[in-house]
Amino acid sequence: MRGLLLITTAAAALMCGGPAPAQQQVVPPAPPAYGAPISLEQAKTAITAAQAESKKNGWNHVFAVVDGGGNLIAFEKSDLASNASVTIAQAKAKMAATYRVATKAYQDRLAAGETFVLGLPGAIPAAGGVPIVVGGKIIGAIGVSGATPLQDQQSAVAGTEAVK
């Protein structure tokens, strides 16, 4: 009987590929530090560039720009954008600013099975919130909502790239 148990255990180990290798934890780089808060002029520049990207693609978006603390600085809503997108755009911007990372990172983590993301305060695990970085420092963030998350992200990135 003991021999049968040993053979069964050995066969199971071979079929399963032996012991599982230890997973290596990938440590992301530290997010940038906060800088001086975004100015109203810079916020308007980000929204104008994001709007241009949305218009070029025929998307109806809501745009929100916040400072590093998540406080609303500038806001714009396309005429045909959903009313629900007003709150979502602001929440995406606030999360990107306060967590100092694009909301797409949390969308990707959730898709990979990291469900704890859903319990984070203020978490919006959907692409479209992107920190605005100038001189290596976060000065604010833009949140875009109204189309698919990746389309929101595309317009948000266009907005961040316009701010110098």
pLDDT category at 164 given cuts 50, 70, 90 is: confident
> CA quadruple 136, 119, 151, 73: dihedral positive or negative?
negative
Confidence of residue 23 (pLDDT cuts 50, 70, 90): low
The verdict on residue 158 lying in a domain is yes
Asked whether residue 9 is domain-assigned, the answer is: no
Name which of 26-35, 117-126, 138-147 the model is least confident about: 26-35
Range of the domain at 147: 31-162
- Considering the domain boundaries, does residue 11 fall inside one? no
* Structure token digits, residue 96: 């990107």
Q: Could you give the number of structural domains in the chain?
A: 1
What are residue 65's phi and psi, to 5 degrees? -120, 130
Per the domain annotation, does 68 fall within a domain? yes
Give the CA dihedral 49, 145, 65, 46, nearest 10 degrees. Answer: -10
pLDDT at 145 over 70: yes
146 within a domain of the structure (yes/no):
yes
pTM for the whole thing?
0.83
In a domain, 13, yes or no: no
* Tens-digit pLDDT profile for residues 49-98: 999 999 999 999 999 999 999 999 999 999 999 999 999 999 999 999 99
Is residue 54 a part of any domain in this protein? yes
